Amino acid sequence: MKYTQTSPRLAYSLYGAPGDPGLVFVNGLAGRQEVWFHQVREFQKDFRVLCLDNRGAGRSETSSEAAVMRTYAVDLIRVMDEAGLEKAAFVGLSFGGRILQELSILAPERISRLVIGGTSCGGTPHQAGQWSLRALFRPGRPVNEQELYERVIPALFGPRYVESHEKHLRILCRSWASAPPDPVGLERQWDAYDAFDFSTRLGEVACPTLVVHGGDDGLSPMANAEFLAEQIPGAILARLPGVGHSPNVESPARFNRVLSDFLRPS
């Protein structure tokens, strides 16, 4: 684990050989870089892989200053600079997918390929799912293990995965309940999420783009992915039937195969 030298200090990890092409994984809201375990294990063989905790989440410091989505995109560039990555392919899910949309306009020269999943462009085109975490994950609101299992797990994972991984998911909820997100960091991320509207700029995304979306995503309906793929020039849409909001965890082999086909073109 490494930390940036400038404030807020951001936690990041590097894998693979220094001379290999860069590949950056970007977390969802309040997420930790450990969720990319299956992807790091696969892609460090051919890529210089960078994972990080966004400000206010995981092991990264929180800043009390206001934040918009561009704040997190600027942080991403800062981490890349310290890690020695001039250019990279990027993979971001949910909140991370929104950060990468912002990055595609802020620093297109740093992006070779772009993968966004379980996300939307925000604004009027955004369609809400059957689940909402806004009220439950209100900053400072305490949550217990059972409430997390009943209300958060069905939102973050598809029903097939929940049914077959109850023991693992209950352990995960116990961990979340014992170490909840920093309330200020969480509030800043929600502020950025709520203010985000990239709907009029999707046509400016110039890099090769893959949109990945689980067919059983309860937080973000497939219509959000279809809109992104329609509006981003040349974008490819990959649907993952039977998978929820966390394809990197629920079906890592299938998710990795879709990434590999896009990131390692023949």
What pLDDT, in 10s, does the model give residues 22-33?
999 999 999 999
Residue with tokens 């893959």: 210
Question: How many CB atoms lie under 10 A from the CB of residue 137?
Answer: 21
Kindly report whether the global pTM for this prediction surpasses the value 0.85. yes
pLDDT at residue 203 greater than cutoff 80: yes
pLDDT of residue 33: 97
pLDDT of residue 140: 67
pLDDT of residue 131: 83
The 10s digit of each residue's pLDDT in 123-136 is 999 999 988 887 77
The 10s digit of each residue's pLDDT in 208-241 is 999 999 999 999 999 999 999 999 999 999 999 9
Identity at 220, one-letter amino acid code: S
Q: What is the mean pLDDT of residues 48-59?
A: 97
The 10s digit of each residue's pLDDT in 183-200 is 899 999 999 999 999 999
Residue with tokens 């992006």: 111
The 10s digit of each residue's pLDDT in 60-85 is 999 989 999 999 999 999 999 999 99
What is the rounded distance in angstroms from the CA atom of residue 233 to the CA atom of residue 200? 13
pLDDT of residue 134: 77
